[in-house]
Amino acid sequence: TDETSGQQPRPTRVMVIGGDGYCGWATSLHLSNKNYEVAIVDNLVRRHFDHQLGLDSLTPISSIHDRIRRWRSLTQKDINLYIGDVCDFEFLAEAFTSFKPDAVVHFGEQRSAPYSMIDRSRAVYTQKNNVLGTLNVLFAIKEFSEDCHLVKLGTMGEYGTPNIDIEEGYITITHNGRTDTLPYPKQASSFYHLSKVHDSNNIAFTCKAWGIRATDLNQGVVYGVRTNETEMHEELYNRFDYDGVFGTALNRFCVQAAVGHPLTVYGKGGQTRGYLDIRDTVQCVELAIANPAKRGEFRVFNQFTEQFSVNQLASLVTKAGEKLGIEVQTISVPNPRVEAEEHYYNAKHTKLIELGLEPHLLSDSLLDSLLNFAVQFKDRVDTKQIMPSVSWRKIGVKPKTVSA
Ligand code: NAD
Ligand code: USQ
């Protein structure tokens, strides 16, 4: 209660774009639980990709309407819903003017690197959807809520794997006797990861030109499925992707171990990335909202908690399997991607910790419970979807269609 006026302070209003997806759904529930006023904006295109490609989440997921109804019946909290495409400016403008957000969290992009490398049309779709969607969000903020804080999901993959330490967004360079702090060089390695670089440039420019306040969260690979809120009821379960297009490294390995499929290490397996638990994704986003960037500031946080190579992940999952009596094999799959398989990697990630992030590190117990979770749903796994099917080198202009 506000002590001077005796009134409840008005809750911060947060628009979550992409709120029906993996990170977005967990974040929407977490923020709603913390008494933020939440609106989900989503065009449900992700559910459509699953249908098109014949994929499905490991966990059965309810429709967005049933999810929100169940949340209301359990908690008496309302989540507002706007179904539509952020590339459609009229729709986005309507959502902005009716909801009047104080902060916008933007998860609503095509987020799979393999999907963006299927064929020309998917590459073009990915960059159009992501770059133009973000541009529309920037225009909506300028036009309708100038003070609104943009919290944008970027990726650690924007930086690539340079042979020097990775800083948080900016690097101070001395060149020919003069010194400046400049955006850290970007070397992304898929049309998807490149879309995030293009977004970062557009956001940085509008912060300077229009005084937009923005935080770019360069997130690492997310793992896990449960959060305090999604485990309250099966209709609140989050999606869990394990297939070769949308599944990500550690989540895939747990499902592979659960069904007795050898772990698919691409190439030499020295590929090192930053990783984080989905419970930390929701925490980081809340910290960014609670500590907004200043007007005109383009702030960059590296959002991950630990670094692992693919080989390290495979060996951790093998050990966790042994404890559950599952024998886990690993195979080296010819790498479908073009990427360094042995490289230096040391990325800074202190800014979110300084704001108060308390990481859930990948302990044995978490890995055991994730593996158990995968075992629980293993009858739903379509093992044909596990091997990678998209080649960075073979991408062409001919549309790829799925055969039965
Ligand atoms: P997801 O595919 O599960 O969710 C994305 C959601 O955005 C979907 O519900 C989709 O329907 C929606 N969407 C896409 N385009 C839209 C549009 N034009 N208009 C409205 N809605 C749209 O993805 P995710 O794993 O939750 O990732 C969310 C964000 O976090 C992405 O920007 C991704 O790049 C980033 N990220 C994810 C990971 C990870 O490991 N999952 C890691 C780092 C960064
Ligand atoms: N890999 C394997 N075997 C597998 C799957 C992946 O060896 O079965 C390797 C990949 O070759 C890559 C690494 O593991 O070197 C990570 O791959 P990934 O599919 O887990 O993650 P990535 O394609 O980078 O994309 C995911 C999300 C994306 C997000 C990114 C964060 O899909 O939205 O931006 O993680 S980051 O990796 O930090 O850029």
pLDDT (mean) for 347-371: 95
273 pocket-lining for ligand 2 (C-beta < 6 Å): yes
Q: Which ligand is nearest to the CA of 247?
A: 2
Q: How confident is the model at residue 364 (pLDDT cuts 50, 70, 90)?
A: confident
| CA nearest ligand 1 atom 8, residue | 21
Selecting among 12, 184, 196, 230, the annotated active-site residue is: 196
Instruction: Report d(CA 345, CA 343) in Å as an integer.
Output: 6
Of 219, 216, 230, whose CA–CA distance to 32 is shortest?
230
Q: Do the Cβ atoms of 258 and 246 come closer than 8 Å?
A: no
What confidence score (pLDDT) does residue 1 get? 43
122 pocket-lining for ligand 2 (C-beta < 6 Å): no
The residues, any chain, with a CB within 8 Å of residue 26's CB and separated by 6 or more, are 227, 229, 230, 238, 278, 279, 281, 282
How many angstroms separate the alpha carbon of residue 149 from the centre of ligand 2? 28
Share of the chain above pLDDT 70, in %: 98
Q: Which ligand is nearest to the CA of 220?
A: 2
134 pocket-lining for ligand 1 (C-beta < 6 Å): no
| CA nearest ligand 2 atom 16, residue | 249
How many angstroms separate the alpha carbon of residue 22 from the centre of ligand 1? 7
pTM for the model: 0.97
248 is catalytic: no
Of 63, 381, 380, 80, whose CA–CA distance to 236 is shortest?
63
CB burial of 245-282 (b: ≥16 within 10 Å; e: otherwise) equals bbbbbbbbbbbbbbbebebbbbbebbbbbbbbbbbbbb
| CA nearest ligand 1 atom 3, residue | 21
Assigned token pair, 99: 């909801």
What confidence score (pLDDT) does residue 2 get? 47
What confidence score (pLDDT) does residue 58 get? 98
Selecting among 115, 184, 192, 223, the annotated active-site residue is: 192
Mean pLDDT (the chain) is 96
**What distances in angstroms separate CA 111 from CA 56, 163, 333, one per listed residue?**
16, 26, 23
Instruction: Report d(CA 22, CA 111) in Å as an integer.
Output: 11
43 pocket-lining for ligand 1 (C-beta < 6 Å): yes
Instruction: Report d(CA 93, CA 141) in Å as an integer.
Output: 9
Residue 123: its H or E element: helix 120-127
Instruction: Report d(CA 361, CA 372) in Å as an integer.
Output: 18
How big is the chain by its Cα radius of gyration, in Å?
21
Instruction: Report d(CA 79, CA 24) in Å as an integer.
Output: 13
Assigned token pair, 271: 């590929």
Residues 106-139 pLDDT 10s: 999 999 999 999 999 999 999 999 999 999 999 9
The string of DSSP codes covering 100-118 is --SEEEE--S---HHHHTS
155 is catalytic: yes
How many angstroms separate the alpha carbon of residue 172 from the centre of ligand 2? 28
What confidence score (pLDDT) does residue 236 get? 98
How many Cα atoms occupy the beta-carbon half-sphere of 124 within 13 Å?
A: 7
Residues 187-239 pLDDT 10s: 999 999 999 999 999 999 999 999 999 999 999 999 999 999 999 999 999 99
Q: Does position 383 have pLDDT exceeding 80, yes or no? A: yes
3-state helix, strand, coil in the chain (%, to 5): 40, 20, 40
Q: How confident is the model at residue 311 (pLDDT cuts 50, 70, 90)?
A: very high
In which residue are the tokens 């986003």 written? 285
Assigned token pair, 58: 């490991």
Q: Do the Cβ atoms of 41 and 35 come closer than 8 Å?
A: no
196 is catalytic: yes
Assigned token pair, 286: 């809340």
46 pocket-lining for ligand 1 (C-beta < 6 Å): yes
pLDDT (mean) for 270-283: 98
Instruction: Report d(CA 27, CA 21) in Å as an integer.
Output: 10
Strands 330-333 and 103-106: unpaired
Assigned token pair, 178: 């003069």
What confidence score (pLDDT) does residue 217 get? 98
Residues 285-296 pLDDT 10s: 999 999 999 999
Assigned token pair, 319: 């050990």
Selecting among 12, 59, 126, 155, the annotated active-site residue is: 155
274 pocket-lining for ligand 2 (C-beta < 6 Å): yes
So what's the ipTM on this one? 0.99
Q: Which ligand is nearest to the CA of 115?
A: 2
108 pocket-lining for ligand 2 (C-beta < 6 Å): no
111 pocket-lining for ligand 1 (C-beta < 6 Å): yes
